[in-house]
């Protein structure tokens, strides 16, 4: 009974000095098509030798929560960090199956995709409460001042969840990291190309500061 | 034709979070653009997105959401102090929340001193842009 009391107390305080670092849940959050799954695959390829998610140019490719347990990374000093990597569906305020039709997907499949995508967004929001740390993945070629991004950041701040912002797709000409940094000055921002592996070493170094 | 419905802070102040979010969403589902005095809490914004997703159907594609609040960096000390007292006495009425059905509103953009609301094609292939200049 005493053991259960302390267990629920530490869970509510979101701090358990006795928790093993391997129980850290690191979530990848952000709008659709920002590169969350590509980054998840980059992490898993670099440290586990295999990918964890499918990727596509069509939004809402990831439509359910995907978890890779026991991902261990090392920094330059040889320090090790182990976490469960959680790839989440992109958060959006609207989903229209006709957008998928325009990308060449057939009607029945497009409707199914839209239905799965709405469930995916709901799951992403519900899973916010389970995260110990979050990496917010933004497309560096797009305007970061969308209400979805502001809402995600605001909810993470309200829950006291440590955040690292990744400005992805820095390999593209239109990428502008300064705009991302100006939009979210309260957080560390790392520019990467998850697709080509550019600057991921810096990203891994920053993960050690954020993941707890 | 585009319909705007203004919802004063008093209309939603005494409601629970769930009722507040549902009230706003019900107006949006009538194809109206809601302009609410004040802001939702961040958790309520997330609830709004979650409930919107549950309501997605062939007739309701979702929403466009924009929350406008004063840029505190541009305020002097006395303005910030007045704002803080006003919030304490009257509740958080600063700013404005705009929610439109995705079938009507394509995008809402905030530029430093104006809000641009882009509506969807009106069938003639013309995109309509409606400007609202923000009062300083």
Q: What angle do CA A141, A147, A151 make, to 5 degrees?
A: 115
Of B49, B64, B102, the CB nearest to A125: B49
Which of A59, A94, A153 to mutate to probe the B interface, most B CBs <10 Å?
A: A94
Task: Give A14's contacts (C-beta < 8 A, 6+ positions apart).
Answer: A160
Nearest to A97 by CA among B58, B51, B63, B122: B58
Contact A91 B49 (CB under 8 A): yes
Residue A114, pLDDT > 90, answer yes
Which of B44, B47, B49, B63 to mutate to probe the A interface, most A CBs <10 Å?
A: B49
Distance (Å) from the C-alpha of residue B50 to the closest C-alpha of chain A?
Answer: 5
- Quote the tokens at residue A5: 């009391």
The alpha carbon of B56 is separated from its chain's Cα centroid by a whole number of angstroms, namely 19
Chain A residues in contact with B45 by the CB 8 A cut-off are 147, 151, 154-155
Chain A residues in contact with B50 by the CB 8 A cut-off are 121-122, 125-126
Q: Which residue of A has its CA nearest to B68?
A: A147
Q: Is the ipTM of this complex over 0.95?
A: no
Q: What angle do the packed helices B42-55 and A147-158 form, to 10 degrees?
A: 120
Count Cβ atoms within 10 A of the Cβ of residue B16 and give its class: 0-12 exposed, 13-18 middle, 19 or more buried: exposed
Which of B56, B116, B118 to mutate to probe the A interface, most A CBs <10 Å?
A: B56
Instruction: Work out whether the CA dihedral B26, B30, B31, B32 comes out positive or negative.
Output: negative
Q: What is the pLDDT along chain B (136 residues), one digit of tens a residue?
A: 899 999 999 999 899 999 999 999 999 999 999 999 999 999 999 999 999 999 999 899 999 999 987 665 555 666 666 666 666 666 567 889 999 999 999 999 877 667 889 998 654 334 445 555 555 5
Chain A residues in contact with B65 by the CB 8 A cut-off are 93, 147-148, 151
Residue reference for tokens 């070629």: A141
Of A96, A121, A145, the CB nearest to B49: A121
Q: What is the DSSP string of A75-113?
A: -TT--EEEEEEEE-PPP-SB--HHHHHHTT--HHHHHHH
Q: Which residue of A has its CA nearest to B48?
A: A93
Residue A16, pLDDT > 60, answer no
Q: What is the DSSP letter of B62?
A: B
Which pLDDT belongs to residue A5? 61
Distance (Å) from the C-alpha of residue B101 to the closest C-alpha of chain A?
Answer: 9
Average pLDDT over residues A182-202: 95
- Quote the tokens at residue A193: 């190309």
Indicate the pLDDT class of residue A74, thresholds 50, 70 and 90.
very high
Report pTM: 0.84
């Amino acid at each position: 009974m005493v053991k259960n009391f302390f267990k629920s107390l530490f869970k509510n305080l979101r701090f358990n000095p006795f928790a093993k670092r391997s129980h850290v849940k690191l979530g990848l959050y952000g709008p659709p098509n920002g590169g969350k799954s590509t980054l998840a695959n980059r992490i898993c390829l670099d440290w586990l030798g295999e990918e964890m998610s499918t990727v596509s140019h069509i939004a809402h490719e990831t439509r359910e929560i995907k978890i890779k347990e026991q991902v261990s990374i090392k920094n330059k000093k040889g320090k090790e960090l182990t976490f469960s990597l959680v790839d989440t569906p992109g958060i959006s305020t609207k989903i229209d199956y006709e957008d998928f039709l325009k990308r060449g997907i057939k009607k029945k499949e497009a409707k199914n995709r839209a239905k799965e995508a709405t469930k995916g967004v709901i799951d992403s929001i519900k899973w916010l409460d389970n995260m110990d740390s979050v990496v917010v993945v933004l497309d560096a070629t797009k305007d970061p001042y969308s209400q979805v991004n502001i809402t995600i950041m605001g909810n993470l701040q309200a829950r006291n969840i440590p955040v690292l912002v990744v400005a992805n797709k820095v390999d593209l000409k239109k990428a502008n990291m300064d705009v991302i940094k100006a939009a979210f000055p309260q957080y560390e921002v790392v520019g990467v190309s998850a697709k080509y592996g550019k600057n991921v070493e810096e990203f891994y170094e920053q993960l050690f500061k954020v993941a707890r | 034709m585009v319909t705007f419905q203004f919802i004063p802070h008093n209309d939603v102040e005494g409601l629970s979070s769930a009722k507040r979010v549902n009230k706003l969403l019900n107006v949006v589902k009538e194809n109206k653009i809601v302009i609410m005095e004040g802001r939702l809490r961040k958790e309520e914004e997330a609830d709004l997105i979650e409930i919107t997703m549950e309501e997605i159907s062939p007739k309701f594609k979702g929403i466009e959401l924009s929350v406008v609040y004063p840029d505190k960096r541009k305020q002097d000390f006395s303005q910030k102090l007045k704002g803080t007292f006003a919030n304490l006495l009257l509740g958080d009425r600063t700013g404005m929340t705009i929610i439109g059905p995705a079938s009507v509103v394509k995008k809402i953009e905030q530029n430093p001193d104006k809000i641009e609301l882009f509506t969807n094609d009106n069938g003639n292939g013309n995109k309509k842009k409606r400007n609202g200049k923000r009062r300083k």
